[in-house]
A = this chain, B = another copy of it.
């Protein structure tokens, strides 16, 4: 079975499987049954079997899943079997927070540079990542094989910056600006709209007062 036959709903759940399998692997667990995984992840065992059957024959009757094998396979499907070079646009608090996350590097997401419009930041470092002026962007992207750009600037500038990134050959944008970016078909965008997440929390909070079941994430 090829990767492309896997449904989007399953793909959306893969990072969570990957996280739990990684924790089990780190704890030295070699195999696990769908029932055990079900208890840890609070998902039905039948959902787990259905999801993981997409990867063919890993679960063996009476044996369970080989944790490391399944972890590696899901990582491969998620594109984590190779390194990605990233840049961050915006050296403010959020850009700095993202630049400083050690966990991203552990997963093969290597932060190479932070770009900021403020001349006063240029030449400084966040951890060991250099802050550079926007004028250095095109050359830096080409020389450092950058494939992912993170947008962590106010929405008023985000659209123009996204256009520039696409012109420089960027194929993937992780967008934290509160705006929907329009990009060519061969460019992928994943947006993290924090305000909208907070509004969903607010909505669910207003529901629990009425004795309704919250839609927990």
| A139 interface residue (CB < 8 Å to B) | no
A191 nearest CB neighbor, chain B only? B217
| A143 interface residue (CB < 8 Å to B) | no
Residues in B whose Cβ lies below 8 Å from that of A203: 11, 14, 77-79
Are A197 and B172 within 8 A (Cβ)?
Answer: no
Residues in B whose Cβ lies below 8 Å from that of A68: none
Residue in A11, A103, A174, A216 with the greatest tally of chain B CB atoms within 10 Å = A216
Q: Which of B94, B204, B210 contacts A172 (CB 8 A)?
A: B204
Docked pose: A66 CA to B79 CA in angstroms: 46
Q: Which of B100, B174, B198 contacts A107 (CB 8 A)?
A: B198
Number of copies of this chain that the complex holds: 2
Are A201 and B97 within 8 A (Cβ)?
Answer: no
Docked pose: A84 CA to B205 CA in angstroms: 10
Are B174 and A198 within 8 A (Cβ)?
Answer: yes
Q: Mark A97-138, 1 if CB is under 8 A from B, else 0.
A: 110110110010100000000000000000000000000000
CB distance from A146 to the nearest CB of B (A): 12
| A194 interface residue (CB < 8 Å to B) | yes
Instruction: Given contacts A98-B194, A188-B204, list 16 more A-B pairs with CB under 8 A.
Output: A4-B207, A16-B196, A19-B178, A79-B202, A80-B202, A84-B202, A93-B93, A93-B100, A96-B97, A104-B195, A104-B198, A183-B216, A185-B213, A188-B215, A189-B214, A189-B217
